[in-house]
Structure 1
Amino acid sequence: MLLRSPKVSALGEIGLDGQNGVGMGKQEALLRQCLAKADSTKPVILHIRGKVVQDVELNARCRTMAQKYLEKEQPIQLHCFSCEPGVFAAWRKVFPQVYASISGMVARFNPRQKQGLREIPLDRLLLETDSPYLPIVGKENRPHFVGDVASLVAAHRGERTQDVLAAANANCRSLFGL
């Protein structure tokens, strides 16, 4: 099976999206099929996006499905995580090897999302641009803007940008076995 190949580093991104026009029943059926094929030694990258960007209920639904198919120690990346308070802690309670990946959407975080961002332990934080999607306000999105994402994350968390970058780099290496 392709997922067992040493050339494959992860499964994903897979998940649930309330904004793409595809019925949730179809998405859930496909997600179950994908989760059932996951390799417990390789990260699963989950895309969870509700009608409002980070839907707490949709996260709970995806987490419940993941619990049925994945081992407790399954490495997971929550792609483009938008940080509602308590959501990351709920994931980490059932999947201790979960990481939250923050994108350029951080430029538009509301106060609740900023609070949720501060709840993510630094050793569980990843950075991404999701280029070409989700640009930082006023910019065409490119991968090299990850430093701008790091600066915004650091500012919201009250940390130094270089500390956020160093932690995200170490976390990425750990998650993907680099």
Structure 2
Amino acid sequence: MKKIQLILALPFIISSCQKKSDYSKLTYNQKANELIQQLLINDSCNCVMEISDMPMIKTSMVENPRFDIRKEIVKKLHLKSKEQLDSLENISKSFILDTVFLKRKSITIIKRDSITISNIIKDHGRELIKKCPNGVLSFTKPILYEEGRIALVDAKVAFFSCLSSPLKIYNYRNEKWVSNDN
């Protein structure tokens, strides 16, 4: 009798696990888009750089291999281990930018492959400046923690700064993302 109950319960348990995984990816995508939308609105920016397919950690390791971003993120988010960070970053791989919002707000997406040094040198960046007079914001895929209540994102003005911006932490309070400047 117990074997039959176990066999009947097994499909339910397996399907419950799958639903939770899908839910967390949907929640991640919604919260990450809310954060990016708020940052774009607060910055009154009219252009955003196409978000790289690479996660934040890999992007940082390519741009600055000497900087241990994994250690920095574990410290900033007070994570227990780098394995916990791997799990959070794995969810961020499924991020899809809400282009409907961008179109509604007349925010232009600048394709990464359309920007090359030779193109900028040819016209001295005039075309980009004409298209994006307020600059171009560049984002990495945010890392969300504490069920989407804490976010870490690397957001900066693209092309116009050689300096790396610090990773910013945001807390979700009262239906808004608030910068945690510490």
> How does the TM-score come out when normalised to structure 1?
0.27
Larger Rg: 2
TM-score by length of 2: 0.26
